[in-house]
Amino acid sequence: MILMKQVPITVIILTLNEELNIDTCLKSIYKWSDDIFILDSYSKDKTIEISKKYVNNIISVDQNHWSSIRNWALRNLPIKYDWVLFLDADERLTYELKTEIEEVTQDNSDINGYYINRRFIFLGRWLKHGGLYTKILRLFRYKFTYYIADGDVEYAIVKGKSSYLKNDIIHEDKKGIFNWIEKHNKISERAAIQFNKKHDILLTTKNKEIEVEGGKLTYFKYKLWDKIPLILRPIITFFYQYVIMLGFLDGIEGLTYHFLQAFWYRVLIYVKVKELQYYKSFK
């Protein structure tokens, strides 16, 4: 085992029934950070039991939109260090990334946030194409950061400058397809409720003094996306990710994931929007 220097980083992990993932996640940061918080939404499995082997700071929080929990954490936790790293329970850090984080957080630059590459593993395969090898804004000086929710997604907002790291967070959910479908069935309701509402994120992206996760691409995505008829979105999303963004190069695993995430999930949102409109007509 390679021993690493302990770094002045606070790590915050959100959990809900993550017994299959949390051990791997915590092993990747154990003794690398001495300030780790688990924010658990009343898990009913062994998540807490496993977490206690590594972490003392385990706090129960009401299940809510991820952005609300993250904002609460940044404003209320007794955070020890200036730099905060948010991790999901199904993510882990590589040795190279930990070394890079140690380096960039020791300098005295004016950077307040860093994007990190996310390596997406599905059915044991790294999906390198289809727009899945993305950069996410997860490392930042917490006093300059907050989150905005928009339906089924969230965006980190960092006041000041942001930059990019070279190495990867590895994302690999071991809970299986049943849990994936259950999760997306739930969050599709948020997307359906958001439909036809104003996107606060569009106003936020116009502020040049902050970095909105995704930058200008976030703004243009929403401006374009809102012009596409709802019924066409599953077809267009699947075609864009699987064909234009070369998702087909990732074999059967790529086809399976893009069918589920780009097509099936978008159809589910469409059905729920129509359902909400139908029942609203009776009121």
Q: Supply the pTM of this predicted model.
A: 0.93
- 3.30.420.40, 3.90.550.10, 3.30.1370.100, 3.40.50.300: CATH of 9-174: 3.90.550.10
Task: Evaluate whether 165 touches 101 at the Cβ level (below 8 Å).
Answer: yes
Domain range summary for the chain, segments of one domain joined by +: 9-174, 179-280
pLDDT in tens, 103-124: 999 887 899 999 999 999 999 9
Interval 217-260: pLDDT, tens:
787 777 788 889 999 999 999 999 999 999 999 999 999 999 99
Backbone angles phi, psi at 234, to 5 degrees: -60, -45
